Structures are given as C-alpha cells and as structure tokens.
Amino acid sequence: MPRRVTLTDRQKDALLRLPTSQADLLKHYTLSDEDLGHIRQRRRPHNRFGFALQLCVLRYPGRVLAPGELIPAEVIEFIGAQLGLHADDLVDYAAREETRHEHLAELRGLYGFRTFAGRGARELKEWLFREAELAVSNDDIARRFVIECRRTRTVLPATSTIERLCATALVDAERRIETRIAGRLSPPIREQLLALLEDTVDDRVTRFVWLRQFEPGSNSLSANRLLDRLEYLQRLDLPEDLLTGVPAHRATRLRRQGERYYADGMRDLPEDRRLAILAVCASEWQAMLADAAIETHDRIVGRLYRASERICQAKVADEANAVRAALKSFAEIGGSLLDAQDDGQPLETVIADGSGWDGFRALVATAASLTAIMADDPLNHVLDGYHRFRRYAPRMLRLLDLRAAPVARPLVEAVMILRNGLNDTAHTDFLRPSSKWHRHLRAQAAGDGRLWEIAVLFHLRDAFRSGMSGWYDPGATVI
C-alpha cells in the first residue's frame, strides 16, 4: 500500500532548508566560545569549517547534511567570518566519507545529539500521538514534531519517516476523538441521531440533509424555517460535556465532513465516526441556526425601517409642489408687510387687501400640515410591520437562550416579559430617556402595547449587532 503523503515539496523545504536571512543566521548559527574551542581542535581549515557547519546544521534545522548538498552562500559567509576562513577552505571537506562520519560521532558525544531510535524514538512517538489532537493541519503536526526533535536534540529522521509518523498520529487522533464523543452519548440519544439518516421530510430528503439546508433570509417565512430546524435540534438534548476536551478545529472538521456526506455515505462509516459526526453537526448547527435566525431578524427590522423611511420620503415628495406654493405665498405676504411698514401703512390692510383673513388662516393651516409631513419620523410607521414580527418573534425569543452583560440586562428583562406573552409598556429601562423610542412610547395610544413590543425587538437587534460581551456559545446567545 503506498505511503500516505502529508507534506508538499514547499512544506518540506520550509522545515528542512538552511537559514539564509541575517536574523535567522544570528539566531541559529552564532558560535559560542565553547563551540569555537571544539572547532579549533581540528587541524586543517577545511575540517574546521566542515565540523562547524555540521554542528550548525544539527542544531538547526536539526538534520544531517546530505552528501554533496549545496550550501547557501549566506551560510558559508556567516560561519566563515566567525572562523576567519573563506569559502575555498570548505572545498576539500569530507574528501574521505569517514571524516564526515567521525565528525558526526564526535558531535553526538560532545553535544548529546542522538539518532531517532530506541527509547528516544518511542518517547517522541508517544509525544507526537498526544500532540496530534491539537494540530490543525498536516504541516502543523510536522512542524511541531520537528521543533520537539530540536528541543530534545534528536537528529531528524528521513522525510518519509516524518510523513508516515505524522499521518499515523493524525489518524489515531481522529479515532480517539470520535470514540470520546460517541462514548458520551446515551443509548436514547444514539437512536435519535441515527434516525436522522432514516427519517425523511416531505418524502424528499432525509432529516439529516434537511437540517443542514439553511441560510439567513429576509422575511418571517425564512425565520420560521430556521426556527423549525433549531427547535428540532434542541429536542435532541445533547449532553453538555459533548465537546469538552475536543479542540475547536477538530469539531469544525467533523462538522464539515458531515456537511459533505449524504445519508448513504454516512451509513457506510464506522459507528463511532458516524455518531461523532452526527452529534457534532447537531451541536454546531444549533449555534449556526441561531446566528442565522438573528441575522434574519436583523434583515426584517432593517427592511421595515427602510420601508418606513420610504413612506416619509414619498409623502414629502408628494407635497413638494404644495410646499413651494406655500413658501411662495408666505414670501409674497412677507414682502407686502415689509413694504407696508416702510411706507407707514397699516399692516392689517395688507392681509385684508390680499387673500383676506380667511385665506391667510387657510394658508397657515396648510403650512402647519406641511411642517408635520416634513418632520414625520419613520418610527411613526413601524406599526405597519407589527404583523411580520408576530409571525416569528415569540417563537424566536422562546428558542434563544439569552445571557446578558450587565449593560444589557434591562433589555433582557423586557425580552422575558415579551417571551412570557405579557406586555409592560411601563418597562422602558432599556431605552435612553432622550431617545426617539422613549418619546414615541410616551405618546402612544393608551392600552396599545404593539409599539413597545416593536421597540424591544428593534433594540434586541441593535444589541446583537453591537456584540456587547461576545457572541454565540452553543445554547446561549450573549448580548
């Protein structure tokens, strides 16, 4: 069976290449007085240069130089400058293969470098298998292994060995996590999860596929579709410790695998893996569905407010001619009054000789009406969308578990009142006294609490947007 490849050529090069930047050379290839003392014990220049080079490469990247390997000019210049040698002094190094092996043996004895074998290899393998759960990618686990080898002064094994060890460790970590999650599921919950692959919705798709088919919408129908799925998943009653000790990226990976599978493919998986994927999907989809419902609510509120703004703008546009005519009339009357004052004539005759007092009263009434239209506020029209909220909002508030930071507690108290089907227009602690909402609620008709309900839902949307103390935690929306 062919070896499972885990690293690309670029990733291998990044792990094993020699440093060339000045910062890396200073960090990894600066020789101490002790190093220089050992190096000077070599009699010939090329052996001193080669011995120093072998020492540096053993330290970083932690491997043995390959026979005939091309050494970067930056490395040769940096090490040579410390030894007082030049690149030409390295040419004759290891003309005898035995010299290179002898130097490696001496370096292992002097600095404690060890090969990847025996007890040290077993300890590194055990460490790697534990660390694999935290690794987020093939490259990440390989980098962790290489760094641990450097720390323990273990000479890196062949790249194929690193790849094989990392691949095995990753697969083993996946199996352990799947077994851990599946082991936390009671028999009734197992049956409920497995039923997701058998039950169908409208005789078209399995319940499992139906649950993952969601996205934010912009109307009450879309909101209820999301809430249908959220309510179904909440009835599964998954254990609270389901993902305890499971790295977040591992849970995300299991969820993404579940989103790629159809029911037939899921049935072919080993039981622990199948149950782990179903459980993680059910858990994470709850959070995602709640977020989608919140975004849908945000869009509905936004659409209603924009529609109210358009109503105000349309009224202003409809009365544009009347506004111009009223302004023109007042300008004419004002001009006549100023002329009369300049000429010393009685001002009241200006009105009487013009349109008359009845006409002037009508003009003032028209101006007052136009002023009210121009000053119209979109909040005066939000009640037009009350029926949209009633189609989904009570259900959404019942399904979302809201937890509040201290600054948002008055709002959550209002939400709880609304969730319980009550109406308390006197509870306005969540509103700023100077806000438009506060003025509108004070001016609302007695006994009509619809505007109060809409005010709560508008401010809940603003709280979700601001993210006062974080965001979604499975089972709880924090505002």
Write out pLDDT tens, residues 373-382: 676 677 878 8
How many domains does the chain contain in total?
Answer: 5
Query: Across residues 397-426, what is the average pLDDT?
Result: 83
Query: Across residues 25-54, what is the average pLDDT?
Result: 93
Residue/partner pairs of 458-462 with CB below 8 Å, 24 or more apart:
458/301, 458/305, 458/382, 459/411, 459/414, 459/430, 459/431, 460/297, 460/411, 460/415, 461/297, 461/298, 461/301
Q: Which of 78-87, 126-135, 423-432 has the lowest mean pLDDT?
A: 423-432
Highest mean pLDDT among 365-369, 391-395, 425-429: 391-395
Q: State the pLDDT confidence band at 478, using cuts at 50, 70 and 90.
A: very low
Would residue 237 be called left, alpha or beta, if left means φ above 0 and alpha means ψ between -120 and 50 degrees?
left
Q: Which of 83-97, 114-128, 185-199, 425-439 has the lowest mean pLDDT?
A: 425-439
Q: Cα(15)–Cα(84) distance, rounded to whole angstroms?
A: 30
Q: Is 118 helix (H, G, I), strand (E, B) or coil?
A: helix
Q: State the pLDDT confidence band at 192, using cuts at 50, 70 and 90.
A: very high
Query: Is 177 part of a structural domain of the chain?
Result: yes
Residue 74 identity? E
318/37: higher pLDDT: 37
- 215 & 288 share domain: yes
Residue 372 has pLDDT above 90, yes or no: no
- 200 & 125 share domain: no
Domain boundary pick from 59, 81, 111 = 111
Bridge partners of 114, per DSSP, are 154
Give the per-residue pLDDT at 359. 74
* Beta carbons of 289 and 212 less than 8 angstroms apart: no
Give the per-residue pLDDT at 441. 75
**pLDDT, mean over the chain:** 86
Query: Is 344 part of a structural domain of the chain?
Result: yes
Query: Is 308 part of a structural domain of the chain?
Result: no
- 267 & 358 share domain: no
Give the per-residue pLDDT at 250. 94
Query: Is 135 part of a structural domain of the chain?
Result: yes
Query: Across residues 334-355, what is the average pLDDT?
Result: 74
Judging by beta carbons within 10 Å of its beta carbon (0-12, 13-18, 19+), is residue 17 exposed, middle or buried? exposed
Query: Across residues 131-156, what is the average pLDDT?
Result: 94
Domain boundary pick from 136, 165, 183 = 183
* Beta carbons of 266 and 195 less than 8 angstroms apart: no
Q: State the pLDDT confidence band at 349, using cuts at 50, 70 and 90.
A: confident
Residue 430 has pLDDT above 70, yes or no: yes
* Beta carbons of 400 and 479 less than 8 angstroms apart: no
Q: Is 202 helix (H, G, I), strand (E, B) or coil?
A: coil
- 33 & 101 share domain: yes
Query: Is 160 part of a structural domain of the chain?
Result: yes
Q: Which residues contact 262 (CB under 8 A, 6 or more apart)?
A: 206, 209
Give the per-residue pLDDT at 208. 94
- 179 & 198 share domain: no
- Kindly give the residue spans of alpha helices, DSSP state H, lying in 84-137: 97-111, 118-131
- 84 & 171 share domain: no
Q: State the pLDDT confidence band at 470, using cuts at 50, 70 and 90.
A: very low
- 370 & 417 share domain: no
- 365 & 352 share domain: yes
Query: Across residues 389-394, what is the average pLDDT?
Result: 92
Give the per-residue pLDDT at 68. 80
- 207 & 284 share domain: yes
Query: Across residues 160-189, what is the average pLDDT?
Result: 94
* Beta carbons of 133 and 180 less than 8 angstroms apart: no
- 217 & 266 share domain: yes
Query: Is 394 part of a structural domain of the chain?
Result: no
Give the per-residue pLDDT at 446. 47
List the domain range (segments joined by +) for residue 41. Answer: 9-111
Q: Cα(63)–Cα(26) distance, rounded to whole angstroms?
A: 19
- 191 & 285 share domain: yes
Domain boundary pick from 151, 183, 215 = 183
Give the per-residue pLDDT at 375. 67
Give the per-residue pLDDT at 428. 81
Query: Is 245 part of a structural domain of the chain?
Result: yes
Report if pTM > 0.85: no
CA-CA distances (angstroms) from residue 85 to 44, 45, 47, 50, 81?
11, 7, 11, 11, 6
Query: Is 85 part of a structural domain of the chain?
Result: yes
* Beta carbons of 44 and 91 less than 8 angstroms apart: no
Judging by beta carbons within 10 Å of its beta carbon (0-12, 13-18, 19+), is residue 305 exposed, middle or buried? middle
- 366 & 449 share domain: no
